[in-house]
A = this chain, B = another copy of it.
Amino acid sequence: MVEVSRRRAIEDVASELFRARGYAATSVRDIARGLEIQGPSLYAHVTSKEDVLWAIVDRAAGRFEAAAEAASGLVTTDAPGMDPVAAMAGLVRAHVQVITEDVGAAAVFVHEWRALGDERRAAVLHRRDAYERRFREVVEAGIATGDFEMTDPALAATAVLSTLNGIPGWYRPEGRLPAGRIADHFVDLVLRMLQGASR
Interface residues of A (CB under 8 A from B): 21-25, 111, 114-115, 149, 151-152, 155-156, 158-159, 161-167, 169-170, 177, 182, 185-186, 188-190, 192-197, 199
Contacts and interface: CB of A to CB of B under 8 A. Distances in A.
Interface on chain A toward B: helix, strand, loop, or mixed SS?
helix
Contacts of A197: 192, 195, 197, 199
A194 to B, nearest CB: 8
Contact of A193 (B24, B155, B192): B192
Given A158-B166, A162-B166, 20 more contacts: A21-B114, A22-B23, A22-B24, A22-B115, A23-B24, A24-B24, A24-B115, A149-B192, A151-B185, A151-B188, A152-B177, A155-B189, A156-B189, A158-B170, A159-B163, A165-B166, A189-B193, A190-B193, A192-B192, A197-B197
20 contacts: A23-B24, A23-B115, A111-B111, A149-B192, A152-B177, A152-B185, A155-B182, A155-B189, A156-B189, A159-B166, A159-B189, A161-B166, A162-B165, A165-B166, A190-B193, A192-B195, A192-B196, A193-B193, A195-B197, A197-B199
